[in-house]
């Protein structure tokens, strides 16, 4: 599963609850984040976005972000090994 698929999975399960508005602050480290992007008259979407402290796209379109969740662990399968 790709990072983007993991992020979408979190959204569809409704467990994405740690959104940080960019009006509060941006991430402190460069990297991939789940971001809500404002597309103007087309609305808002959530997608995987890369932040690197110098990205005009991030500054102009991202309205909120959150760290990616830890990857899924299949505990039941791990116990069987």
Write out the DSSP string of 5-66. HHHHHHHHHT-----EETTT---SS-EEEEEEEE-GGG-EEEEEEEE-S--HHHHHHEEEEE
State pTM to two decimals: 0.67
Instruction: Give the count of domains, the chain.
Output: 1
- Structural domain range at position 62: 3-80
pLDDT at 12: 56
Cα 54 versus chain centre, distance: 18
pLDDT digits over 37-70, tens only? 999 999 999 999 999 987 677 888 999 999 998 8
Q: Which residues contact 79 (CB under 8 A, 6 or more apart)?
A: none
| Run of H or E residues at 4 | helix 3-13
């Amino acid at each position: 599963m790709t990072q983007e698929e993991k992020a979408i999975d979190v959204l569809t399960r409704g467990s994405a609850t740690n959104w940080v508005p960019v009006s509060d602050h941006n991430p402190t480290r460069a990297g991939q984040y789940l971001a809500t992007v404002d597309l103007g008259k087309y609305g808002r979407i959530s997608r995987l976005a890369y932040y690197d402290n110098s990205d005009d796209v991030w500054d102009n379109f991202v309205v909120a972000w959150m760290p990616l969740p830890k990857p899924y662990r299949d505990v039941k399968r791990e116990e069987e090994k």
